[in-house]
Structure 1
């Protein structure tokens, strides 16, 4: 039976894992590999031993980088090129990455790919989501339930590679602005950066997250701020990377992504979140780091991708693919089942679901409410 990891009862009240670190077994940062060598080593088995080797390819920086490395490895091994899988939402223009996809595929010389066209199949209460909810219960992140719309089109037994985790691993950290200011000989900016380092901004971020969850009751907001009060982010770049890459948030997301793929008979690999790659990044970045996200992308992948891709700052927007009339009809008819009223104001939560652009964190509560309203268990396997 496929094993999913679940939020505990307190976390499920708010739909968010706690900010703690879950260290991987046997982890060592004393890697002699470069990050590229680590990525190539992680990808080799998937490319050499399965056909096809699918790569989930959105056209974003992380999936483009993983695809580019996979192509280079496959051609070095004499294996078949990886098979990009792209999903498009014609009714959601904010999600369109077509031009970026074409730029990357043309640069890499790839002609074969699978393009899946969705018109509501990846909504929060679409067929893929409700089928997964019924089979697997309440999962975090809620988007795990949507993946079946993709996986059912892929061959069981094939490898499935994604760029998940890249936005945590390949990123500037707390110390980065100060390091960049010092290196640029900007003393005033350095002083401002030092002030930010001393003060930190994690508390501000948690306050902002509580503000965005406008459905919290006064008691709920107070409990939320207590539960998710952050520890100080490590100042060293390598230690900060470790705390982010192996946070409970990252670990649960990666674990459930893999479990859902395995439920469809696929062999999942998210190389950018693998301990082997993180260890190599920590060694190369050391105390001061490797610069901004764009600096890191250039350092790691400039020889494989056009600079326009590694330096891009735009991102696709998928919220409009998630909320349809089905979700809003459910919200209007919902009688309050499945969501703790002590911490979550039902009327305000309903208003959020019916808004033009509901906050993503409310989707977890939507799924809890749907399960309760249909008399279904939160965890069919008893976990």
Structure 2
């Protein structure tokens, strides 16, 4: 079986449980999942999957609308659900507030963006591109045969290493020094352990705790609405085939790997390299800004967190993205009954499709 064939098998359970919605951002991973699911649905005579896409106001670095439009047009999709977000997806905004009140602090901190999609998929299924960034991405580029190119990359890598070492005490300035040092050592050790060979690297990522927590959180979120959440890029059968004969390769570029999976049968725009969007400004909006500005220093473990340092960091905007989970933890600890938090709106009704 080919990797594409294995991926087609991986999306089938979701397609057989309509309505099947696809969490579609326009990035490589979600575009690949959408294209494969639509291909299988058309071949098998199953109800077509419906992409659901967030569009953001005031977040230009997160704008992927051009790629979204191109992929949807190339695939000939008629039913496309667009959701609009202003402060809706803030770390402690309306959507996150509903999720945090019911589920508590979960990983990842942006899990709540899937909540409205799950509510639209009630009783059906949701396909995601979860895990693609880990098992398909993150590779260093293969070495070029040009000496000057290699020299330039080596110099750039050296500058990065020196800058990282020089700033290591300041990576987590909101933590107590001994805690920050311990986390930094673990971070460095983890980076050194990451394999370079394709089969070893994929296996290493597939068993990591962060991916396990992500999948568990998505599954729990789906269970609240009887939605089967399927993450085909983490399907064991797909990963086994993907790391078969070619598993000994080292550092295959992500775009090349995805193009090989597409096997020339999916539209080129699906696998074409594209700039990576930055979503921090989607989650750091008005509700978070107001919350950190009025924070009184309570709700944290002071043996771990340096309250004075954290207050100084949170007095400037935007706050560091590395404190996003801490924002949600403090919000939960200080607004346990939800009275001081944002209102909990009713679940969204299914919007009119964009055609």
**TM-score per shorter chain, which class?**
0.7 to 0.9
CA distance in 1, matches of 2:169, 2:246: 33
3-state SS in 1 of match to 2:22: strand
Q: Which residue of 2 aligns with 1:269?
A: 230
Query: Which of 315, 323, 326 in structure 2 is aligned with 1:362?
Result: 323
Query: Which TM-score applies when normalising by structure 1?
Result: 0.77
Q: Work out whether residues 20 and 121 of structure 2, in 8 Å CA contact, stay in contact via their aligned partners in 1.
A: no
Unaligned runs of 5+ in 2: 339-355
Gap change, CA 1:110 and 1:376, over 3 Å in 2: same
Unaligned runs of 5+ in 1: 1-32, 378-383
Q: Which residue of 2 aligns with 1:307?
A: 268
3-state SS in 2 of match to 1:81: coil
1:352 deviates by 3.4
Gap change, CA 1:222 and 1:310, over 3 Å in 2: same
1:40 aligns with 2:1: no
CA distance in 1, matches of 2:11, 2:210: 24
Q: Spell out, residue by residue over 1:192-248, the C-alpha distance to the aligned partner (whole angstroms, 9 max, x if none).
A: 999x99x9x999979878744332232221221244432533343311221122211
Q: Which residues of 2 match residues 1-383 of structure 1 at below 5 A? A: 33-47=1-15, 49-152=16-119, 154-171=120-137, 173=139, 177=141, 180-181=142-143, 185=145, 211-228=170-187, 229-230=189-190, 232-289=193-250, 291-301=252-262, 303-375=264-336
3-state SS in 2 of match to 1:80: coil
CA distance in 1, matches of 2:241, 2:116: 34
CA distance in 2, matches of 1:160, 1:208: 41
Gap change, CA 1:278 and 1:357, over 3 Å in 2: farther
Gap change, CA 1:256 and 1:204, over 3 Å in 2: farther
CA RMSD of aligned residues (A): 3.1
1:59 deviates by 0.8
1:86 deviates by 0.9
Gap change, CA 1:279 and 1:89, over 3 Å in 2: same
Query: Which TM-score applies when normalising by structure 2?
Result: 0.83
Q: Work out whether residues 124 and 327 of structure 1, in 8 Å CA contact, stay in contact via their aligned partners in 2.
A: yes
Q: Spell out, residue by residue over 1:86-112, the C-alpha distance to the aligned partner (whole angstroms, 9 max, x if none).
A: 111123222222111111111111111
Gap change, CA 1:264 and 1:336, over 3 Å in 2: farther
CA distance in 2, matches of 1:265, 1:111: 26
Count of residue pairs the alignment pairs up: 335
